[in-house]
Amino acid sequence: MSDVIVVGAGVVGAACAYYAARAGLDVTVIDRGPVAGGTTGSGEGNVLVSDKEPGPELELAVLSNRLWRELAGLGGFEFEPKGGLVVAETEEVRRQLTELAVKQDVEHTPVDGPALRDYEPHLAGGFAGGVFYPQDAQVQPMLAAATLLRRGADSFGHGTLRLRLGVRVTGFIRSGERVTGVRTSHGDVLGDAVVNAAGTWGGEVAALAGVELPILPRRGFILVTEPLREPLIRHKVYTAAYVTNVASDSAGLETSAVVEGTPAGTVLIGASRERVGFDRTTSVPVLARLAEQAVALFPALREVRAIRSYCGFRPYCPDHLPVIGADPRLPGLYHACGHEGAGIGLAPVTGHLLAQVLTGQRPDLDLHPFRPDRFAKEAS
């Protein structure tokens, strides 16, 4: 019998388990696959504040950013507080970017055209300027998830965090109107609370509990280059179009590549955004667009080779906000999913807030915008 059962061993589930264990709860994490086998293992590792419109998601991002910096002290995974550089093609866009940065009210430095090369010596010429966000960072999400799970088990006494991998949740156990556990491919697991941290598959898990959660997959491709001998790119670099794409409702293909180097020496280029269901088929035109945008930012990449690509499915809700908190429709059920392309960045704050809710504390941020039943109300 656990205090909390977390369904999903991705980075969000790992963070929920870590903070719950740290709060003194007895946690069992269940995943049908390995650690970080879903969307966590197919993203870029973005920890961004720069791409968020002012509002509740930005508040999450700012707090999460601070928490990531604390967690990085655990060691065991790469965390690079490298900063993000958003560049503008035209003077008009540069002005809009600067205005947005002011409204965001996060640390930033406006950069004029000639000064861009001080930040990125290999950046193409001709950009009107941009904004530098020192808080933007990069994390290796798979190792981070594994580390959080391990530390959750190690640091707070044995038995507070159990990991059940290769175990599929097949249903929920109820006692009266309350959730008291889950049925799995490997027997029943009992617990006072169940946290749905199943990411892109969060809607399916919710359906097993009999509640509706409109979470859909958004496909993203990422290109990875050969390792470079000398680092070519210092920060996360992207064009202003990225910010508008993040908030877009278009089902069609959008690409506005974030380009950055990694400690392994490779350059990551991605991700594209498409709503095409769970289709893994590689689209060469999408890869070509990513390559074109990367070369437009950094002409020296023209002769650099892409050696692989991968795709993942980001979980998104109709209003592009995550679902975090208790489900009023079913006592004992909690959700921590639907983070779209920001799940890595927002994992710590999600785990932190949920642990506060689970232990009866008042959460540091208002969870109303992220309430699980907000979609049903809109529909009726």
Distance between CA atoms of residues 374 and 380, nearest Å: 10
Query: What's the min distance (Å) between Cβ of 134 and another protein?
Result: 28
Distance between CA atoms of residues 341 and 321, nearest Å: 10
Binding test (CB under 8 A) with another protein, winner from 1, 207, 247, 264: 264
Query: What's the min distance (Å) between Cβ of 364 and another protein?
Result: 29
Binding test (CB under 8 A) with another protein, winner from 90, 155, 185, 282: 282
Question: Closer CB to another protein, residue 39 or residue 196?
Answer: 39
Query: What's the min distance (Å) between Cβ of 201 and another protein?
Result: 17
User: Which 209-228 residues touch another protein, going by CB under 8 A?
Assistant: 223-227
Secondary structure (3-state) at 56: helix
Binding test (CB under 8 A) with another protein, winner from 91, 112, 188, 292: 292
Question: Closer CB to another protein, residue 99 or residue 292?
Answer: 292
276 contributes a contact to another protein by CB under 8 A: no
Question: Closer CB to another protein, residue 220 or residue 372?
Answer: 220
User: Which 39-98 residues touch another protein, going by CB under 8 A?
Assistant: 41
Query: What's the min distance (Å) between Cβ of 336 and another protein?
Result: 19
Query: What's the min distance (Å) between Cβ of 374 and another protein?
Result: 33
Burial pattern 95-132, b for ≥16 Cβ within 10 A else e, equals eebbebbeebebbbeebebeebeebbeebbeebbbbbb
Distance between CA atoms of residues 50 and 154, nearest Å: 34
Ordered DSSP codes for 210-224: T-----EEEEEEEEE
Strand partners, 79: 139
For residues 243 and 51, the answer to whether their CB atoms sit within 8 Å is yes
Distance between CA atoms of residues 151 and 182, nearest Å: 25
For residues 337 and 214, the answer to whether their CB atoms sit within 8 Å is no
Site string for another protein, 6-35 (x = CB under 8 A): ---x-----------------------xxx
Binding test (CB under 8 A) with another protein, winner from 210, 288, 328, 364: 288
Report angle CA 19, 20, 26 to the nearest 5 degrees.
140
Q: What are the residues whose beta carbons fall under 8 Å from the beta carbon of 316, sequence distance 6 or more?
A: 215, 216, 217, 218, 338, 340
Tell which phi-psi region holds residue 293, choosing left (phi > 0), alpha (psi between -120 and 50) or beta: alpha
Query: What's the min distance (Å) between Cβ of 11 and another protein?
Result: 12
Task: Report how far apart the first and last C-alpha atoms of the chain are (Å, whole number).
Answer: 38
337 contributes a contact to another protein by CB under 8 A: no
150 contributes a contact to another protein by CB under 8 A: yes
287 contributes a contact to another protein by CB under 8 A: yes
168 contributes a contact to another protein by CB under 8 A: no
Binding test (CB under 8 A) with another protein, winner from 52, 236, 289, 352: 289
Stretch that binds another protein, among 104-112, 203-211, 275-283, 358-366 (CB under 8 A): 275-283
> Given the DSSP bridges, would you call strands 129-133 and 109-112 parallel, antiparallel or unpaired?
antiparallel
Q: What are the residues whose beta carbons fall under 8 Å from the beta carbon of 48, sequence distance 6 or more?
A: 61, 84, 133, 136, 236, 342, 345
Question: Closer CB to another protein, residue 311 or residue 353?
Answer: 311
**Residues engaged in binding another protein (CB under 8 A):** 9, 33-37, 41, 142-143, 146-147, 149-150, 163, 165-166, 223-227, 229, 264-265, 269, 281-285, 287-289, 291-292, 294-295, 301-310
